Amino acid sequence: MEAQKVEQLQAFVAYCRSNPSALHHPSLSFFTDYLHSLGARIPPDPTPVSASSSLCSGLIAGVHVTRLVGSHLSLPIRCLLLVFNRDLKGHMKMESDSGTAAAEEDYVGEKFDRAAESAGDEDEIVESDLELDGGELVVPDDDDPPQKMGDPSVAVSDESRDAAQACKAKAIDAVSEGKLDEAVEHLSEAILLNPTSAILYATRASVFVKLKKPNAAIRDADEALQINPDSAKGYKSRGMAKAMLGRWEEAAKDLHLASKLDFDEEIDSVLKKVEPNVQKIEAHRRKYERLRKEREMKKAQLERQRRRAEAEAAYERAKKEQTARSKASDPEVNDPAAAAALQDGNVISIHSSSELETKFRAASNLSRLVILYFTATWCGPCRFMAPLYKSLAEKHPRIVFLKVDIDELGDVAHRWNVNSVPTFFFVKNGKEIDKVVGADKNGLERKIALHAGESENQVEEEPVEHAPGE
């Protein structure tokens, strides 16, 4: 024996040794019979597992063996290994088919609900910490009392303006000497003298920036910008103060406006520290906006799939229910004997009155249209119509085609007032509704088309009671 085949056989034996319960599967009965014929003893199944669990174990083990020995297994060994996959699929299909349509619909809804919950859990967005350069952040001056603010409604005289300018000059000298608190006092006195001056508020805001009191600086800058919306110093001081508080995007906006109004190197220096943080924030925001949008799109897609699956399941259930109702209301299902007696697609020769009544009764039970054809063996036109009548029976299997020989059943022909042959009576529920006399091929086909359509749509003409002898 070839070495490769020996190796394959060893792999299969190893598989059976590691999983002896697989030998109890019905699909391997031929193999266990062979082992028994050699006197081998098959160990009992140690764990009574379900069919699906056994098949799953067999499938996993079979795949494992296939990986061990490669893809060049001989056909018999591959069949033994892959039979588990086939049986597993069949078992799963039987379990699926055993449920009711309503259970299937519930399962579909639960499936997509679980998928949506899983998607929500898996895609729950927790924003990561954003590493920013905050080396010059300060503790906000929230506990400091608000600085003195001027009354903008007060009329300012020329003397007050001059005095305010003198206080401002003193403040600038104090700033140059590093006496920032003294400079604030001089500027506050100047603001009280001239509360309509935007430059006084903007200058005091710049001093508060140097004192690392960003909230006070922002209040003064806001006041300056309210008086003069084009105050470059106001935007600069407010932007630098917001940068101290880590409000990077607001700071960048104010600093850019200040730079456009009156560029200086200090603004450019602060922007070089602020803008990298702004870029990180914007990239961070775009990333999580994209992730949130993707999550919403995924949820929306799952919801659409769930609704579509539920609609399909509901449609299938309604279809099955309709089919069941149709079968329950189908007279042929409820009266199979009557259906068998009418020999669909064939011309039935009648040989007795009782047989005719039996056929009429069966046709009535099944709501079938009956064509009663009176003929005679000596009638030439009848011989002409016979092949057509037979082909019409084959073409319309839901119509009952009967044939009566007037020489054989003269009493029946008399009762139906047959004066010539061929004659075709159209009968519904045992009552005549129409007739064709003579070898009128086109007339017969036209009448059949008319009454066959009415029968299918359950539209009937008013039946005419047949009175023998009329």
- The sheet carrying 400-405 orders its strands as 347-350, 400-405, 369-375, 423-428, 431-437
382 is catalytic: yes
Catalytic residue, candidates 16, 56, 167, 382: 382
Catalytic residue status for 56: no
DSSP 129: P
Distance of CA 130 to CAs 59, 288, 417, Å?
49, 12, 104
Q: Report the C-alpha gap between 160 and 186 in whole angstroms.
A: 14
Gyration radius from the chain CA atoms? 50
| Count of other CB atoms within 10 angstroms of residue 79 | 12
Decide if 252 contacts 275 (C-beta within 8 A).
yes
* CB of 422 closer than 8 Å to CB of 382: yes
Helices assigned H by DSSP within 100-213? 101-122, 158-176, 180-193, 198-210
Angle at 390 between CA 385 and CA 394, to 5 degrees: 145
Q: What residues act catalytically?
A: 379, 382
